[in-house]
Structures are given as structure tokens and as C-alpha cells.
Structure 1
Amino acid sequence: MSSHYTWYTKTVIPETPDSVTIVFDTRGVLFRYEAGQFIQVTLVIDGQPVTRSYSLSSSPDTDVYPAITVKRIPGGLMSNHIFNMASTIGEWQIEGPLGAFTLREAACRHLVLLGGGSGITPLYAIARSAIQQHPGLQVTLLYSSSTVADTIFKTQLDQWQQQQPNNIRIHYVLSRHPAGEAAAENNIIAGRINRIIAKKLVKQAIAATDNNAHYFICGPAELMKMHEEALTSVGVPETHIRKEWYAPEAVTAVTAVTLPDTVQEVLLHLYEQTNLLEVKPGMTILDAALEDKIPLPYSCRGGTCGKCAARLSSGKVQLLENYALRQEDLDAGLILLCRSYPLDSQVTVEVDG
């Protein structure tokens, strides 16, 4: 269950030339979470509150304090502020934990992690918790980055593999790594990852396991699509694949041609109050609610974080993008208000307070 906290900076750890880990001091306030979940961080920047989502890179099974790892993004307001100022930030406003990108299968015998860039963050946490919870678990990591220096957690990952060579296999695919050096390092592939490399490494991982493998994918959208296609092409069931989108794919503009061209009425139940929304053509339910000053919870507005999830109790909506809800969530009637468009005026949605 998500709650609000005020945390403080305990330690700032440089990871790569453009990424840092912030370890938080919770001042003794209990924070329960699962490996793979994320938090919402709010900081005041230039006098304005700014909120972003960050995966927890810490593991509740191995770490005393929660932590996030932030990669600086060119032009990114929050990431640059954190990278440059983390050690001087007095208070961090936190909401969480959030997300369902977690390992819950007790029968899992092989964990295959497919990541790229800062997408390693939740995968690193999941792997450490899984090993702690399931002794003897096999872990295979396929990690795409640009260079050795840019590979987040590489020192820790290499030490981890050396300590447990029979249980942990790591393959790095480095787009700007010298080919001659890669030949001498049997777990580094030089060059940009492509469908052939992805499928080959996925096949190798599958060959080393039985049907109890579970697959976690996190990273840039195109990389994630490539890995998912590789998995499904070799027969991995969708129920064994988990995905965490850090940013949505490019969204095609919504026009009145694809959706109703008249105003639709939506009943919104929030905090024991009922609101009647008039949703204009091309607007999402979230857009209409915010226009009416209704304080719905939301963050990404791209279908990735799941914070605006609500239950559809009647009517029909078009959910255009969904990177947060699992099939069982959809079957239970959950939708994402930030990417849901009403198709009729019979829509009723319920938001948990």
C-alpha cells in the first residue's frame, strides 16, 4: 500500500560518469516494499515542485536502507538536479511503494533478466532478492549498454558472478566496446544489440532451464520490444514475461476519427464522492478530471507507472496504451485513466482513495 514519507540523504554513491545512487535515511520510519517496485520522488526545483518515478535499486532482503539509482538524461530537469545536487538536498518527499514488477512465483527456478541502460535498476534489486529468497536459483542477465564505463553496477555484477559462477551468468552487449577487447572477454559482445543477438542469447538461456523460467524486461521501448519478440518467437508464454516501461513508445495523435466525436459523460467515484465529467472528443478521462480540478492521483500520463489505475464498473472505454497493468488486472476491470477514452456515456469508474 502506498504512503507518503519524508526521507533524508544518507549516502550518495557515484556509479558511472552520469549516474548516482542515493541511499536514503528514513529516520527509523518503517518502509515495506518488494524488489522491483518504484517510488515517486518530489523535489522543489526553481521554486516549483517536480515529481518523477524512480525504481528502487535496493533490495529489502539485503539492504538496510532504501535507495534509488538515477541516470542523468540530457535536458532532464529532475535527473540533472539530482545528479548535481543530491548531497545537498535536505528533504525528499516520497510516495510509495508502487508497481507490480516483482517476482511472486515461488516455483521459479531460473530468472532471466533482459535490460538496457538504467533499466538495470529494478532488475538488479529483483535478482538480489530472488537469490536470497530462493537458494540455488539460476540467474541469467543480458545487459545492453554503450561502454564498460557506462555500465551501471558492473563492478558489483562481476563480483557477484565470481562469487556464484554456477548460478549466475551475465552477458554484456556494449554498442561502443572495441571488438578486439570483446574477443578476450567471453561475456562481452561488442556492437549494438539486434534481433539476431537477442534471439541467440534468449535461446541459450532457455536451453539451460526447464519450463519454470521467468523473464523480466526493462529498458528503452525498442529494446524491450525486441526482447519480447525474441521470447515469444521461441515459445515463451506471455504469463512468464514481466515488463517495466520507463517511458512509453511514441504515441500516435488521437483524433475524433478513431473515437467518438461528441462529448461523453463519465461518472467518477472518488473519496466517497461522485463527479460527473464531460469528456470532450480526444480527451482522456484523466484530462477531463484534471480540467475540473478533481485531484486524481497520476504521474507519467503515458500508461507506464500505473498510478492512475481505476476500476471500470460500467460502459466501454478505449485503453490505447498500457505498460503497467497485467492481464489479470485487466480481467478484473482495471484501466489507466491517463490513456482511457470513453466510447459511450455509460462509463462509470471507481478510484480507490
Structure 2
Amino acid sequence: MSAPAAEPLSALPEHGPAFHRLVVTELRELTDDAVAVRLAVPEDLRAAYGYQPGQHVAVGVPGDEERRSYSLCGLPGEDDLRIGVRRLPGGRFSHGVLDTLRPGDALEVMTPAGRFGAGLPGLVRPAFVAAGSGITPALAMAAAALADETVEEVTVLACNRTQASVMFLEELAALKNRYPSRLQLVHLLTREAQESALLSGRLDPERLAAVRAALVGPVDGWFLCGPQSMVTELRAALLADGVPTGAVHVELFHAETAAPPPVPDAPATGTLATVRLAGLVGEVTVRPGEVVLDALLRVRPDAPYACKGGVCGTCRARVVRGEVVMGATWALEPDEIEAGYVLTCQSHPTGETLEVDYDA
């Protein structure tokens, strides 16, 4: 490849994905098991870290090659970045890092990525269904929509175990106070009874239908963020009820580990892949049984990725020539797949040559 492995990531072209060391300025407890982390963005990097509501950043785990992806929850007008982190049992970042992280410490943070919010512009009645930490991107997107006076109404269905476990509860209440007639905010709790039985219990397709009938007006775009089981069930229910496919957008914060698909037959000598990344073009051999991302990382450590599970979409690229077979495709919309976009962490080449473009 054209970029030597020893070149610092910060020296790569500014228009490409890059990691920079950002300083933590605030750690604020949201719930007993969640915290908001604020990261200062230097003025000379603000253009690189400008983001659209619904995007996320990959955060490097100190002392480890692993990365974690966190949605950005900043409100309109904020220059710094904010992420919401829920502590997970055994989580290397959520426990190992947060337990020792203090203001003044620095984290390696990649420039924003993701297309969860790409369908938001132009909508006048969007609705968000957010379970647990899924409220993080929904908060930013709902706030951005409400700041647009052409948006008539925004609906947020926030699903949590108890009221005490609701992340960004104060921010949600502040939005409701600011836009009382244009924000429909509904809290559904699975482990705490509420006055209305309709709002107590798991949000399954039947409860969603009842909530829509009783509380939700017309909607021209749905955004679902949560665990795989909930998101897939509710998406299927909305489609079955006649909601157009292009009007339902999904993002997972966790997906069940599934058996990988059979690896396609590939040339014994591997596939010669031409890759465009951050304005640089080069070649790498993808070995039989290997995915494109792993091959690329051998020569381009700056290649964008986070989860490596087909969930976050950080490694998205477009196939220009050749074909691949993918495993999980959670982070891609149907129209993106039709347009040739793939997740390189899930892509096995099927022929002797391949060309992919990360900059497309």
C-alpha cells in the first residue's frame, strides 16, 4: 500500500478516517451503571470531528488493539463530543477503562462514522424507539429534528427496566419542557409498574401496535435502536403493517453471535484487492478464508473498524469491481447493499481480483 505502516495516524490525509488523542473534560454519572464522557475537540480538529446526529465514534481501548463504538449524543451547537457508556459485565472499556478514567486523561478517538441518521433530513414527523443505551443516538437526532421549525412532531419511545435506569433522563425532560407541543415522549418500563398498564412491560409488536394506536400520530420515518431481538421484531411488525421499507432505519448496540456463513471458494493464491482509503490507492492479497478488513489491516493500520461484527458500519466501503460474500449486514440499509456497499469485516472475496473504495 502507499502508506507505510510506521506513518503516524495523525499524518494521514485529513479527509480520511483518522484517530486523534482527545482529552476527557468531564465524566458524569447518568445512572448506577452508565456514564457520559465529554471529550474536548481542539479548534483545528473541529472540521474533522463535525458529525451528523446519529453518527458514532470508535474509541481505542488503552493498551489493547480492540476498539469500541459509541454513539454521539451531543445537542445542536456543542463543539465537544459526548458519548454515553453503559457498564457491561466484563467489558474491557466500560469497566477496565471507566474505573480509572479521570478528567485530563486522553483517549484515542476516530473521526465520526455511521449512517443511522442519514434518513432524518426532510422528515416532518420522525419517531424513535430506543432501548437502554439506544437513547444515545436518538437523543441527538430528536434534538436536531426539534431544532428544525419545519418538523411538526417528534416521537420518542424510550424503553428501560426502571425509571432509575434511564440514560439522559434530564436531557430528555429538558427537551420536553422546551418543546412541549412538538415532542411526544413516552417512557416504557419493563420492571417497574406505571399507572398505565400499556406502558408497563416489554415493547413487543403487540404493545407497539397498541402504543401507536393510543399515543402516536402520523409518522413518516422510524428509527429503531436497541438489542437485536427487539429491533428485528419491531421492524418486521412495522413492515407488516404497511410502513415502507425505506422508512424504517435500524441500529443495533448488540447482536447475537451467529454461525458464520460458509466461506466461498476462492483462488488458492488468494485475491488481489485494490483498495482506496483516505485518498491513497494500493494493493493487498486477501488470503483464502480471510475477510477484506483483516487483510487490509496488515498494511494499513489506519483502516476504519470498531466492532468487527457487522453491527457498527465503521468499515463500510463500496465494491467497484469483483464480488464478495458477506456474513452479518446489520449496519447496511437495503439500498446501500443494492448500490454495492459492503462491510469489509464481513466480506469474503469470491474471485481473483477485487476493488473496494472506502472513500465512496
TM-score normalised over the length of structure 1: 0.85
- Which one-letter code corresponds to 2:281 in the other structure? E
Is 1:130–1:137's contact at 8 Å kept on the other side of the alignment?
A: no
- Which one-letter code corresponds to 2:247 in the other structure? H
Is 2:146–2:182's contact at 8 Å kept on the other side of the alignment?
A: no
Counterpart of 2:310? 303
Post-superposition Cα deviations, 1:260-303, rounded to whole Å, max 9, x if no partner, equal 276352423343222233x324x32333444x555343221111
SS in structure 2 at match of 1:86? coil
Post-superposition Cα deviations, 1:96-133, rounded to whole Å, max 9, x if no partner, equal 11111115554311110011010110000110111112
Is 1:267–1:347's contact at 8 Å kept on the other side of the alignment?
A: yes
Within the candidate set 255, 274, 297, 1:268 is matched to 274
Counterpart of 2:256? 249
CA distance in 2, matches of 1:267, 1:49: 24
CA distance in 2, matches of 1:320, 1:204: 39
CA distance in 2, matches of 1:161, 1:188: 21
CA distance in 2, matches of 1:289, 1:9: 31
Is 2:310–2:345's contact at 8 Å kept on the other side of the alignment?
A: yes
C-alpha change, 1:294 and 1:4, in structure 2 (3 Å) is closer
CA distance in 1, matches of 2:97, 2:165: 18
How many equivalent pairs are there?
Answer: 337
Higher relative contact order (CA closer than 8 Å, sequence separation 6+): 2
- 1:246 Cα deviation from its structure 2 partner: 1.8
CA distance in 2, matches of 1:65, 1:261: 46
Within the candidate set 64, 71, 95, 1:80 is matched to 95
2:360 is the alignment partner of 1:344: no
List aligned pairs for 1:124-163, cutoff 5 A.
Answer: 124-163=139-178
CA distance in 2, matches of 1:297, 1:144: 31
> Where in structure 2 are there 5+ consecutive unaligned residues?
1-14
CA distance in 2, matches of 1:308, 1:33: 17
Counterpart of 1:53? 69
C-alpha change, 1:240 and 1:81, in structure 2 (3 Å) is same
C-alpha change, 1:95 and 1:188, in structure 2 (3 Å) is farther
List aligned pairs for 1:146-185, cutoff 5 A.
Answer: 146-177=161-192, 179=193, 182-183=194-195
Counterpart of 1:108? 123
Within the candidate set 204, 209, 213, 1:194 is matched to 204
List aligned pairs for 1:27-42, cutoff 5 A.
Answer: 27-29=42-44, 30=46, 31-42=49-60
CA distance in 2, matches of 1:120, 1:323: 18
2:241 is the alignment partner of 1:234: yes
- 1:235 Cα deviation from its structure 2 partner: 0.8
* Runs ≥4 residues deviating over 4 A: 103-106, 203-206
C-alpha change, 1:195 and 1:3, in structure 2 (3 Å) is same
> Where in structure 1 are there 5+ consecutive unaligned residues?
none
- 1:152 Cα deviation from its structure 2 partner: 0.9
CA distance in 1, matches of 2:337, 2:233: 24
Q: What is the Cα-based RMSD across aligned positions, in Å? A: 2.6
C-alpha change, 1:287 and 1:24, in structure 2 (3 Å) is closer
List aligned pairs for 1:307-326, cutoff 5 A.
Answer: 307-326=314-333
State the percentage of identical aligned residues: 25
2:76 is the alignment partner of 1:66: no
CA distance in 2, matches of 1:173, 1:102: 23
